[in-house]
Amino acid sequence: MQLIVVDTETSGLEETDQVCELAFVTISTKKDKWQVTSAWSNLIKPSCPISIPARATHHISDDELEGAPSMTTLLLKRGLPEFGVTSVGGPLITDSIFCAHNAAFDRRMLVQSGIHPSLLPERTICTWRCALHLYPDSPGHSNQVLRYFLNVEPEPCDLPPHRALPDALVTATVLCRMLEVESAERLVELTSTPVLLSRVNFGQHRGKYWRDLDVGMLRWVLSRDFKEDEKYTARYWLNEKTGNG
């Protein structure tokens, strides 16, 4: 089994944006220990300009991308060998797992950039969602916060953040720490399991513990269009407070 950590830098966050830098870091077992075994990255020329907010994050300019391949050219020339894909015709049978920090975002951006969904492994580990389950007491769940909360260091450790390869290496290092306490299959399961959130992250109650919200507020959350994790948490504490658990 190989775990393929993916990180993208993009032209923006919208449905029309695309990847402008892509990195893959492969993790596999050596002597019964998960380790980084290979790393690759490349600039990608999107068919849309880079937005100012995106450039302010990763500092990649449109001029810098002039000589970079498009995603189509990359697929034709290189394929996606990390996933066993040798051509755009389809993937080989592999046991790879797609891994990323906020995996849904990176998967969406790859598809928006021209990679057919069938070329990406269905099994997914999202280190952000797993961290919400495994480290509820962490002061945050971004890559860099987890790096210091868990006291792990990628190698090399002096690369700048918010570029695809450095961020992928941080994700890979965090993932290796997770794999010391949970199996890869369990992390796949946690990725799709609703999270029992600790603190509220919206409105006037932001920063409060969910357990401290009153019954009326919990019922209000359940009646509105919140995400699955918020509704799962509200339902859990409502059941606890009303004796229906």
Domain with CATH 3.30.420.10 in the chain: 3-191
Chain centre to alpha carbon of residue 93: 23
Give the fold, CATH level 3, of 3-191. Nucleotidyltransferase; domain 5 (3.30.420)
pLDDT tens digits along 188-244? 999 999 999 988 989 999 989 999 999 999 999 999 999 999 999 999 999 999 987
Low-confidence winner among 29-33, 166-170, 176-180, 201-205 (lowest mean pLDDT): 29-33
Strands 19-30 and 97-100: unpaired
Please report how many Cα atoms fall inside a 13 Å half-sphere around the Cα of residue 19, on the Cβ side. 29
Strands 33-43 and 97-100: unpaired
Provide the pLDDT for residue 89. 60
At 212 the three-state DSSP class reads helix
C-alpha closest to that of 41 among 7, 18, 73: 7
pLDDT tens digits along 117-169? 988 999 999 999 999 999 998 999 999 999 999 999 988 767 788 899 999 99
The answer to whether 21 and 114 have CB atoms below 8 angstroms apart is: no
CA distance 24 to 110: 12
pTM of the model: 0.90
Provide the pLDDT for residue 31. 78
**Residue 160: which residues within 8 A CB-CB, separation 6 or more?**
166
pLDDT tens digits along 45-83? 999 999 999 999 999 999 999 999 999 999 988 888 888
